[in-house]
């Protein structure tokens, strides 16, 4: 196994170690220090690939997994995957360092937190480096599951459970839609490799499944990256601990959809529907997120909607950049390449300034006991370092110099101005909407950034409204956001170092058909008095004006009807679905075992009889049937007689013995049919079950005296006769439809194939080994479930005893 796979699976390995040794670890050091080794090692390991990828080279590794199904853990390291890998591991290192001081060692179940976080980290790394599309999907869904566990980490809170469930339902729904799109993509390309699919892009584009696959895959990307109207899960996900928000909801998980769109742009990018869905939904999400963020009074909620807005900005840039695929090599193609480059640039910038801002909000909450803007103010003098970091991150998000957000925001303005004059896909009429919406959204972005900074840190300090005595955060909590703040400033002054070694190599796999001219992608803060600069000046002027009078116009939000909000539709839809399910369940869940058997038997008869009718199954061939002997008839009579005794006896023990007699007669059938091993098995099972029945029912009261007088029920008679007839017809027809050679010929060579002298054992252990393994897994999971329930019950009893 190559060392890269060891690094790739390192988070899962440490999650396994922590789950068993957390008590030993936590007695000696904080669990976070032990876990910190993982992302730091991965980050340092990935650094070696930067000079290789910067030269335009890619690295491929392949680890066989299920070769018979052509499923291997194939990985592909290129510029795009490396960019995300460095963000996942780099920001992950800073987040874990921050979490060590944020989470209390005494109050939190730290091992669970770090196990979930490591699972998520490993899933994200597997996602961005996978070349096999089904492996990518597996890691994709693992990110949803691990994020569900992280969001619901404080599960005793109703809001945490609600947020976790909402994120899981929406993202898994998108994931299932994406899976259907992936299957269509496989059918079109006849390969599981994403790189080979990109190579077959010309053929895929002309296929009938192209548009359905495109739409389904985008649903998955939009749900994961919180694009409108699927964005409602992200604000509720803020119930997670702040380190989780800083990691999942600014730098990694919400960027998974961005990654998928970028990765598949070479396949779908040249179509108009891809452009309008990606760029159109992105620009709408940008406006929706920025407009909604302004009204928030909770700092994390404000950052949540700002994240939605910034993700929309990145998505719209990817949509605009996809025009390069349509135009191809040439001047027009090179023009729209800049938009994709700006998307990757802003993706990096957003991870830095938003990660630092989430950590700042966590510090404010940790030190003051609240995130409510209405109770905060004047913290600048008490927490000067935190205030400085907030200014750097906030001004960068607002798009002001000298911070990295200004550079990518200027490139965003340039791109929306370019797309207004594209002249294709109906942009000659609707193109001007892009710069107009972008400018309006940027004004609101400026306003909420000012609210975040100045409402929190300036004004009058009101300690009476706070639950804690405020002081500056410990140095351990400040290190991580401080490092991110320094990167924000450094990138502004040295942007082309990042561009040369990280961003341009990441651009190449997104637009492989476009020759990259590095001079066109040179980043500079000054482009002269161009439209983008005037748009920025307008944003600042109108932003300051709106911020000054925010108390006057912010009340307009109160007039918006709540029944028109997306959350209202989600809650009503969820409640309606639950009520609908409850009504259906109450209809058939009567508590009567007799009714349940009726449902099963009727369904069984209808499905099989209809199938027989339409598939011409009523064909019988009795030529090869064995003759019926006197012993066979005797056993049949014995089975029928024992069954009638069960029906008409008035004593439980007699009924149990008669039921056991039915089983014993069946075992005689196996002996007559020369299957003594099955007969012995049946005999043992019947003996054990009969004894168990006797032990249980011995202590129960006698049957009612009138139980032996069975009244005739026409429905029961019809169902029983239909069931018996169906099984009989199925058994007889099976012998008349032998399309293939009997499988017994294959198992006759059991000794040669499996080295087994007993065919039954060979079938169970060797030929059905995988099925047997799954059965054992189900029993193991059931056993663990029972163990957990018993353990939780004993814990509650102990707690109640301690309380008493």
Residue 616 backbone zone (phi > 0: left; psi -120 to 50: alpha; other: beta): left
Looking at residue 210, its pLDDT comes to 93
What is residue 708's predicted lDDT score, i.e. its pLDDT? 43
Distance (Å, whole) CA 445 – CA 348: 18
Q: What is the pLDDT of residues 193-216, one digit of tens each?
A: 999 999 888 889 989 999 999 999
Each residue's pLDDT tens digit, 142-190: 999 999 999 998 888 888 899 999 999 999 999 999 999 999 999 999 8
pLDDT value at 622 more than 70: no
Under 8 Å CB-to-CB from 321, ≥6 apart: which residues? Answer: 265, 269, 336, 337, 338, 339, 340, 341, 342, 343, 415, 510, 511
pLDDT tens digits along 500-537: 999 999 999 999 988 888 888 899 888 888 899 999 99
Instruction: Supply the pLDDT for residue 582.
Output: 84
Query: Who has greater pLDDT, 2 or 603?
Result: 603
How far apart (Å, rounded) are the C-alpha atoms in residues 624 and 608? 24
Q: What is the mean pLDDT of residues 612-636?
A: 76
Count CB neighbours of 424 within 10 A. Answer: 14
Contact residues for 416 (Cβ-Cβ < 8 A; gap 6+): 283, 316, 320, 434, 435, 438
CA distance 66 to 70: 6
SS3 track for 384-440: HHHHHHHHHHHHHHHCCCCCHHHHHHHHHHHHHHHHCCCCCCCHHHHCCHHHHHHHH
Omega cis (within 30) before 244 = no
Q: DSSP letters of 222-279?
A: HHHTT-TTGGGHHHHGGGS-HHHHHHHTTTSGGGHHHHHHHHHHHHHTTSHHHHIIII
Residue 709's pLDDT band, with cuts at 50, 70 and 90, is very low
Rg (the chain; Cα; Å):
33
**How much is the mean pLDDT over the chain?**
86
Residue 445 confidence (pLDDT): 95
Report which of residues 738 and 765 the model is more confident about.
765
Would you state the pLDDT for residue 178?
95
- Estimate to the nearest angstrom the gap between the alpha carbon of 17 and the chain centroid: 24
Tokens representing residue 581 in the block: 């399910």
C-alpha dist (Å) from residue 406 to 314, 440, 540: 14, 16, 12
How many other β-carbons are positioned within 10 Å of the β-carbon of residue 261?
28
Contact 495, 75 (CB under 8 A): no
Confidence of residue 67 (pLDDT cuts 50, 70, 90): confident
Alpha carbons 156 and 382: distance in angstroms, whole number: 33
Task: Dump pLDDT digits (tens) for 292-323.
Answer: 999 888 999 999 999 999 999 999 999 999 99
**DSSP three-state, residue 24:** helix
Q: Which of 31-35, 409-413, 798-802 has the lowest mean pLDDT?
A: 798-802
Number of helical H runs and strand E runs in the chain: 38, 2
Q: Half-sphere exposure of residue 96, counting CA atoms within 13 Å on the CB side? A: 27
Instruction: Sort 170 into a burial class: Cβ within 10 Å, 0-12 / 13-18 / 19+.
Output: buried
Alpha carbon 280 to chain centroid distance? 24
Where helices occur in 458-565 by DSSP H, the ranges are: 475-493, 495-498, 504-510, 531-548, 550-553
**Model pLDDT for residues 330-380, shown as the tens digit of each residue:** 878 888 899 999 999 999 999 999 999 999 999 999 888 888 898 888 899
């Amino acid at each position: 196994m190559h060392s890269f796979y060891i690094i790739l699976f390192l988070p899962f390995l440490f999650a396994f170690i922590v789950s068993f040794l957390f008590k030993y670890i936590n007695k000696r050091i904080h669990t976070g220090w032990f876990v910190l080794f993982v992302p730091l090692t991965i980050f340092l390991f990935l650094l070696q690939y930067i000079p290789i990828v910067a030269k335009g080279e890619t690295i491929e590794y392949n680890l066989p997994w299920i070769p018979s199904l052509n499923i291997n853990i194939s990985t592909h390291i290129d510029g795009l995957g490396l960019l995300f890998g460095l963000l996942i591991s780099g920001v992950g290192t800073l987040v874990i360092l921050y979490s060590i001081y944020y989470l209390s060692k005494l109050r939190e179940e730290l091992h669970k937190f770090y196990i979930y976080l490591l699972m998520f980290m490993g899933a994200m790394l597997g996602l961005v480096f996978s070349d096999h599309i089904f492996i990518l999907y597996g890691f994709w869904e693992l990110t949803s599951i691990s994020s569900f566990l992280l969001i619901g980490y404080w599960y005793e809170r109703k809001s945490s459970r609600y947020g976790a469930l909402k994120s899981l339902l929406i993202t898994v729904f998108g994931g299932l839609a994406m899976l259907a799109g992936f299957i269509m993509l496989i059918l079109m390309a006849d390969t599981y490799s994403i790189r080979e699919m990109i190579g077959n892009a010309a053929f895929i584009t002309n296929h009938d499944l192209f548009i359905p696959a495109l739409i389904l895959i985008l649903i998955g990307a939009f749900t994961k990256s919180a694009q409108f109207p699927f964005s409602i899960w992200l604000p509720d996900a803020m119930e997670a601990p702040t380190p989780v928000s800083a990691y999942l909801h600014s730098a990694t998980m919400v960027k998974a959809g961005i990654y998928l769109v970028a990765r598949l742009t070479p396949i779908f990018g040249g179509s108009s529907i891809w452009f309008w869905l990606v760029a159109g939904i992105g620009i709408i999400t940008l406006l929706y997120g920025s407009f909604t963020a302004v009204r928030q009074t909770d700092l994390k909620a404000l950052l949540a909607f700002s994240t939605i807005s910034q993700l929309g900005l990145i998505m719209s840039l990817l949509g605009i950049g996809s025009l390069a695929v349509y135009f191809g090599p040439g001047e027009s193609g090179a023009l729209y390449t800049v938009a994709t480059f700006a998307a990757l640039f802003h993706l990096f910038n957003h991870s830095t300034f938003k990660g630092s801002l989430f950590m700042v909000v966590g510090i404010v909450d940790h030190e003051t006991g609240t995130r409510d803007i209405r109770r905060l103010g004047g913290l600048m003098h008490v927490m000067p370092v935190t205030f400085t970091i907030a200014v750097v991150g906030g001004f960068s998000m607002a798009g002001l110099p000298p911070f990295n957000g200004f550079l990518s925001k200027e490139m965003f303005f340039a791109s929306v101005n370019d797309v207004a004059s594209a002249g294709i896909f109906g942009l000659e009429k609707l193109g001007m909407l892009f710069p107009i919406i972008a400018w309006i959204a940027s004004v609101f972005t400026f306003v909420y950034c000012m609210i975040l900074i100045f409402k929190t840190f300036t004004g009058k300090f009101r300690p009476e409204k706070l639950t804690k005595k405020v002081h500056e955060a410990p140095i351990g909590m400040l290190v991580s956001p401080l490092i991110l703040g320094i990167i924000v400033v450094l990138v502004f002054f040295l942007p082309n170092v990042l561009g040369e070694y990280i961003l341009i190599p990441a651009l190449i796999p997104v637009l492989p058909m476009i020759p990259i001219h590095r001079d066109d992608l040179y980043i500079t803060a000054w482009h002269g008095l161009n439209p983008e600069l005037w748009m920025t000046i307008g944003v600042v002027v109108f932003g300051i004006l709106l911020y000054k009078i925010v108390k006057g116009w912010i009340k307009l939000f109160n007039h918006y009807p709540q029944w028109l909000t997306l959350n209202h539709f989600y809650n009503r839809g969820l409640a309606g679905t639950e009520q609908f399910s409850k009504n259906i369940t109450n209809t058939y869940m009567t508590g009567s075992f007799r009714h349940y058997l009726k449902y099963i038997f009727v369904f069984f008869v209808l499905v099989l009889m209809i199938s027989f009718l339409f598939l011409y199954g009523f064909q019988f061939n009795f030529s090869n049937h064995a003759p019926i002997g006197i012993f066979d008839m005797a056993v049949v009579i014995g089975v029928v007689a024992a069954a009638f005794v069960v029906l008409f006896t008035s004593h439980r023990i007699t009924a149990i013995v008669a039921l056991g007699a039915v089983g014993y007669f069946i075992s005689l059938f196996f002996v007559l049919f020369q299957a003594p091993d099955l007969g012995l098995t049946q005999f043992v099972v019947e003996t054990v079950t009969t004894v168990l029945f006797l032990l249980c029912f011995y202590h129960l009261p006698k049957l009612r005296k009138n139980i032996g007088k069975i009244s005739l029920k026409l429905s029961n008679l019809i169902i029983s006769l239909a069931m018996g007839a169906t099984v009989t017809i199925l058994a007889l027809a099976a012998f008349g439809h032998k399309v293939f050679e009997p499988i017994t010929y294959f198992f006759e060579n059991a000794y040669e194939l499996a080295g087994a002298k007993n065919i039954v054992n060979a079938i169970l252990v060797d030929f059905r080994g995988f099925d047997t393994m799954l059965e054992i897994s189900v029993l193991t999971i059931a056993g663990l479930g029972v163990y957990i329930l018993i353990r939780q019950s004993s814990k509650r009893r102990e707690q109640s005893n301690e309380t008493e």
